[in-house]
Amino acid sequence: METLIKTRRYSADLHPNKKTVYIIPNQDERCTDAEAFEPRRRQSYRDAEGLVNFYEDADPAKDKYWRERIGKYLWVHVVKEDMRRKGIPVSASPDTFILAAYPKHYKLWIHKKGDPANPRTDHYLFGSRFVDRFRSPAEFFLHMKWILEGMPMKGPGQPDCQCCYCDGSRPQGEISQAFGVYHPHRRDRGGGDDKGGGKGGGKGAKPRSPTSTTIPFKDYTKLNLPPSS
């Protein structure tokens, strides 16, 4: 692996094939705004109407899809910009970008709700102390950028982050459209759903499980990457 850039918050490594970049967040507690969290409803039981409403670990393919989308955004809007500021030539032209792991304590879950034979499924990224959940990779773009920029604050409990939840001045549809990744979402049409306990954005406190969870590294551990610092 060739290290393209290494900062206090992350490093970016180029695979020997010269076509894949791994963006590796520092897993230190000081480099995340997340807390260990597990949804309350983890059992596939049926309610009085015979419907289910529970969470499972996201499947590896979907998890990788999210991290690739986030990685591509970070390469363009964080890594390349940091390299230019440091005077590091941006000579690589990769075609695959992977966020090697989420910041510490973040985790992608799948929510299943409705008919047990064919439940509705939604993927959510949980963990942030300030945001209830992120419903798509695009929703997490600006928040992840804020984390890698050192998590600046406007004031106590007020992240200086431009994501649709922390800032609130732009709906996610407008933000996604600016990045060329806009897809109409039920939330933009006034919808929403329940996750079994809210947090952040004025929605109340997130319930805690008595057992803390940690975030396993997904892909890059098998590639003998250098440890983050």
> CA 45: distance to chain centroid?
28
Each residue's pLDDT tens digit, 120-131: 999 999 999 999
Map residue 70 onto helix, strand or coil.
Answer: helix
Count Cβ atoms below 10 Å from residue 174 Cβ, excluding itself: 12
**Greater pLDDT, 175 or 129:** 129
User: What pLDDT score does 89 carry?
Assistant: 93
Q: pLDDT at residue 145 above 70?
A: yes
Structure confidence at residue 224 as a pLDDT band (50, 70, 90)? very low
User: What pLDDT score does 41 carry?
Assistant: 84
**Greater pLDDT, 176 or 136:** 136
User: What pLDDT score does 169 carry?
Assistant: 87
Cβ atoms 228, 25 nearer than 8 A:
yes
**Greater pLDDT, 222 or 109:** 109
CA dihedral 62, 109, 111, 164 (to 10 degrees): -90
Calculate the average pLDDT of the chain: 82
Burial class (CB in 10 A: 0-12, 13-18, 19+), 173: middle
User: What pLDDT score does 204 carry?
Assistant: 36
Structure confidence at residue 63 as a pLDDT band (50, 70, 90)? very high
**Greater pLDDT, 195 or 64:** 64
**Greater pLDDT, 191 or 147:** 147
The first and second tokens of residue 175, run together, are: 């933000």
Cβ atoms 74, 96 nearer than 8 A:
no
Query: Stretch 11-23: mean pLDDT, rounded?
Result: 95
Query: Stretch 142-169: mean pLDDT, rounded?
Result: 94
Q: Which of 26, 78, 42, 18 is nearest to 195 (CA)?
A: 42
Q: Which of 125, 200, 198, 105 is nearest to 159 (CA)?
A: 200
Q: What residue ranges do the domains of the chain occupy? A: 2-221
Query: Which residues, listed in sequence order, are joined to residue 164 by a DSSP beta bridge?
Result: none
Cα–Cα distance, 2 to 225 (Å, whole number): 10
Bridge pairing between strands 20-25 and 158-159 = unpaired
Each residue's pLDDT tens digit, 189-210: 433 444 344 443 333 334 333 3
User: What pLDDT score does 185 carry?
Assistant: 52
Angle at 163 between CA 111 and CA 184, to 5 degrees: 55
Each residue's pLDDT tens digit, 75-104: 999 999 999 999 999 988 899 999 999 999
User: What pLDDT score does 182 carry?
Assistant: 59
Query: In this structure, what are the phi and psi dihedrals at residue 56, rounded to the nearest 5 degrees?
Result: -130, 160
Structure confidence at residue 178 as a pLDDT band (50, 70, 90)? confident
